[in-house]
Chain A
Amino acid sequence: MADGFVRVPISEQDPKVRATNFEEVCLGYTEEEAVEEAGRCLNCKKPMCVAGCPVSINIPAFIEQVKNRNFEKAYEIISESSALPAVCGRVCPQESQCEGKCIRGIKGEAVAIGKLERFVADWARENGIKPKNTSTPNGHKVAVIGSGPSGLTAAGDLAKLGYDVTVFEALHEMGGVLVYGIPEFRLPKEKVVKAEVENVKALGVKFEKNVIIGRSITIDELMEKEGFEAVFIGSGAGLPMFMHIPGEQANGVFSANEYLTRNNLMKAFKEGYDTPIARGKKVVVVGGGNVAMDAARTALRLGAEVHVVYRRSEQELPARAEEVHHAKEEGVIFDLLQNPTEILVDEEGNVKGCKVIKMELGEPDASGRRRPVEIPGSEYEIDCDTVIMSLGTSPNPLISSTTVGLDTNKKGCLIATEQGATTKEAVYAGGDAVTGAATVILAMGAGKTAAAAIDEYFKNR
């Protein structure tokens, strides 16, 4: 029984069981649990949680409806602000956003806003409720590039304002990082992602897959030949980084993007799918972000002993605390304050190990975190057959290099104002394509802001 200080516990698959399957880890609240947890909300007059939400969901209002068992109304309130509640309820870093600001959190545990959002979205889907579009078509065509979180959000918002929106996706499935990056056990593809895309379709948005903007057609051609009057670029940050250490081209070294794409988008883990994946016996994942956790937990489920090698200490791990906790529970081993210096390769070109040097923390660097410094002479070897590099990603230059007047910064990110306006007229951008790799919800926030700015652009034209 929850009191004011402790949240209603949520059921999860047993760590030992889930470490061998790809079913969802968190099982979600039941109706009774959700209503009880909703009862913990103080319905603050000045709700700090809303200010902490990048898409400004009216959190106390939807929780109030959950408390009163008006789940449909709760869904309507969330849908006003978010196109992807079932996704956000699962993958948002709530602890540093809405829940981080919750008054309940000062003396106890914050209200489980994310879990309640997930409950409402799941309830709506299971009961066949779709978001409604009551706008009148205004006849203006807008193209959205990329069907990831920022693109889906911008598309949904623009459709609700009456625009004729087409989303162009380069891959064969809609969802961007939601389908290729985040694994099934955190975000089910059929049940959740596909359903959310269907919801955006229900708002009148058209989708075209297998179109590579910059190759199949350029942005200039979309505007000149296909009648699009404005464009939103939400093409993400897809280019993987490598360490540039010896042995990195060996067989058995993968970018986290490749490993996760094979498993998630191509469904290599499922019987009957053609795409292969290396089922390593001992896997080293280099990096400490959410993507590293996803790669580590995927390798674990494919049967490997998994070591996360990260150059700083546990405190600096950029991954969400919940992901680190889940990974540990499942049996992922953390080799902290260590960094690979070389990948050891056998005569046939396969990985046979990894040379690693120990680190200690020195003075804080530009990011404010203490800089890791190598400890001389501390190198040792880890035996392994697979190394997964999860060091971050940067935006793909394909669109910027093929669009006249679209400028990027030194890191290859599109230059855009806070409203999303790029250096090219009528072209807006948001999400990882502008910021470099960040989170789903920040991309959604950017999509939302840009949709409003595009509407403003049409009004002032």
Chain B
Amino acid sequence: MYEIVKKEKLSDKIFLMVVKAHRVADNCLPGQFIIAKIDEEGERIPLTICDYDRAEGTITIVFQIVGASTERMANLEVGDGFADFVGPLGQPSELCEEANLEETKKKSIVFIAGGVGTAPVYPQVKWLKEHGVDTTVIIGARSKDILFYEDEMREVATELYLATDDGSYGFHGNGCQQLQALVDSGKKYDHCVAIGPMIMMKFVCLLTKELGIPTVVSMNPIMVDGTGMCGACRLMVGDEVKFACVDGPEFDGHLVDFDQAMARSKQYKTEEGRALLKQQEGDTHHGGCGNCGGDK
């Protein structure tokens, strides 16, 4: 068992957990992900690494309740654990490679984090700060109550901008509009990293293409094994088929076919929704999900 040593509720549906997994903590780097499985019946859930502590042998993950499995995960408490917790998976972020450091230092880098995407942005910004690289970070969220990691990010980012769609906190608008505003005010960026919901990454990429800023995105498609075995996570990058689990998860955002990736991520939506309904209703579940036949 991989023990949960800390749990924090970051917002209504977003949770942080620190998990003991020394094999992952020994070798992981920013940009990589893990796969967690709650128990025998659980799914393999891919989550990007949010932070790691090599001395303690722990990994920090942040997740949002989106379906039955993440709902079940949110019910785990400190002292409980995951039956399986494997990683690190995927390629580390190119920005956070020692070999590229001199090049990276010359760049003016802006990160745009959307919602729960704030979590995977954090270790990259932290790594860059530790290596003497300045960063600008924009955190975008629907409203103030689902915005998290503000203090942590302020510690590591050179400049931090907060944006809410409803204007309840910081800049009134989304991450794209905040970036546009910064560029309009004379700021210059020559590298962008956008991590968040696919629709947000798509719109950031449309904007940065126009602005001529190379942009890296971190894809989080449906996965099963996470080791290159099944191809569930395949996506088109330019005219090539790539597997997010082994070729990514980071890709050149200007080449990713987001519309197709978004369609693919809906593949199991109805099944997942039915499973959640059944779980919430427990023994009182007698149909309505269209699956169990209880209403026929």
Cβ of A266 under 8 Å from chain B: yes
- Chain A residues near B224 (CB, 8 Å)? 258, 261-262, 266, 275
Cβ of A170 under 8 Å from chain B: yes
Q: Which of A210, A212, A262, A278 is packed against the most chain B CB atoms within 10 Å?
A: A210
Cβ of A362 under 8 Å from chain B: no
- Chain A residues near B216 (CB, 8 Å)? none
Contact B267–A180 (Cβ < 8 Å) = no
Q: Which stretch from A56-64, A236-244, A286-294, A429-437 is at the chain B interface? A: A236-244
B-contacting residues, A213-233, CB 8 Å: 215-217
Cβ of B264 under 8 Å from chain A: yes
Contact A244–B275 (Cβ < 8 Å) = no
Q: Which of A211, A217, A240, A278 contacts B229 (CB 8 A)?
A: A240
Cβ of A363 under 8 Å from chain B: no
Q: Is the interface of B mostly helix, strand, loop or mixed?
A: mixed
B-contacting residues, A228-268, CB 8 Å: 238-240, 242, 244, 248-249, 251-252, 254-255, 257-258, 261-262, 265-267
In the complex, what distance in Å separates the CA atom of A212 from the CA atom of B83?
Answer: 16
Per-residue A-contact encoding for B80-115, CB less than 8 Å = 1, 0 else = 000111111100000000000000000000000000
Counting contact residues on chain A (CB < 8 A from B), the size range is 35 or more
Q: Given known contacts A210-B86, A258-B224, A274-B41, is B275 in contact with A216 (CB within 8 Å)? A: no
- Chain B residues near A373 (CB, 8 Å)? none
- Chain B residues near A211 (CB, 8 Å)? 23, 86
What is the minimal beta-carbon distance from B140 to any residue of chain A, in angstroms? 27
What is the minimal beta-carbon distance from B294 to any residue of chain A, in angstroms? 14
B-contacting residues, A266-284, CB 8 Å: 266-267, 272-276, 278
Cβ of A424 under 8 Å from chain B: no
Contact B229–A210 (Cβ < 8 Å) = no
In the complex, what distance in Å separates the CA atom of A249 from the CA atom of B23?
Answer: 34
Cβ of A348 under 8 Å from chain B: yes
In the complex, what distance in Å separates the CA atom of A239 from the CA atom of B229?
Answer: 5
Q: Which of A210, A216, A273 contacts B27 (CB 8 A)?
A: A216
Contact A274–B229 (Cβ < 8 Å) = no
In the complex, what distance in Å separates the CA atom of A371 from the CA atom of B89?
Answer: 40
With both beta carbons as reference points, the residue of chain A lying nearest to B261 in the complex is identified as: A249
- Chain A residues near B260 (CB, 8 Å)? 249, 349
Q: Which stretch from B156-164, B196-204, B231-239 is at the chain A interface? A: B231-239
What is the minimal beta-carbon distance from B57 to any residue of chain A, in angstroms? 12
Cβ of A355 under 8 Å from chain B: no
Contact B69–A217 (Cβ < 8 Å) = no
In the complex, what distance in Å separates the CA atom of A33 from the CA atom of B71?
Answer: 52
A-contacting residues, B1-53, CB 8 Å: 23-24, 26-27, 32, 37, 41-44
Cβ of B225 under 8 Å from chain A: yes
Q: Is the interface of A mostly helix, strand, loop or mixed?
A: loop
In the complex, what distance in Å separates the CA atom of A419 from the CA atom of B272?
Answer: 48
In the complex, what distance in Å separates the CA atom of A262 from the CA atom of B275?
Answer: 16
In the complex, what distance in Å separates the CA atom of A349 from the CA atom of B264?
Answer: 8
What is the minimal beta-carbon distance from B68 to any residue of chain A, in angstroms? 6
Q: Given known contacts A211-B23, A258-B232, A273-B41, is B275 in contact with A170 (CB within 8 Å)? A: no
- Chain A residues near B271 (CB, 8 Å)? 276
In the complex, what distance in Å separates the CA atom of A75 from the CA atom of B234?
Answer: 46
What is the minimal beta-carbon distance from B76 to any residue of chain A, in angstroms? 14
Cβ of A171 under 8 Å from chain B: yes
Contact B43–A275 (Cβ < 8 Å) = yes
Per-residue B-contact encoding for A419-432, CB less than 8 Å = 1, 0 else = 00000000000000
Cβ of A396 under 8 Å from chain B: yes
- Chain B residues near A239 (CB, 8 Å)? 228-229
- Chain B residues near A348 (CB, 8 Å)? 263
Q: Which of B24, B86, B241, B246 contacts A249 (CB 8 A)?
A: B241
| 20 A-B pairs whose Cβ atoms sit less than 8 Å apart in the complex | A171-B225, A172-B84, A210-B84, A212-B87, A216-B88, A240-B230, A242-B231, A249-B235, A251-B263, A251-B264, A251-B267, A255-B231, A258-B224, A261-B224, A265-B225, A267-B41, A274-B72, A276-B271, A349-B263, A396-B229
A sample of 13 more A-B contacts (CB under 8 A), given A172-B86, A212-B87, A251-B263, is A172-B37, A180-B229, A212-B86, A212-B227, A238-B229, A240-B231, A249-B236, A251-B267, A258-B231, A276-B271, A348-B263, A349-B264, A396-B246
Q: Contact residues of B with A, CB < 8 Å? A: 23-24, 26-27, 32, 37, 41-44, 68-69, 72, 83-89, 224-225, 227-232, 234-236, 241, 246, 260, 263-264, 266-268, 271-272, 275
Q: Contact residues of A with B, CB < 8 Å? A: 170-172, 180, 209-212, 215-217, 238-240, 242, 244, 248-249, 251-252, 254-255, 257-258, 261-262, 265-267, 272-276, 278, 348-349, 396, 398
Query: Which 4 residue pairs spanning A and B have beta carbons closest together?
Result: A349-B263, A258-B230, A276-B271, A210-B86
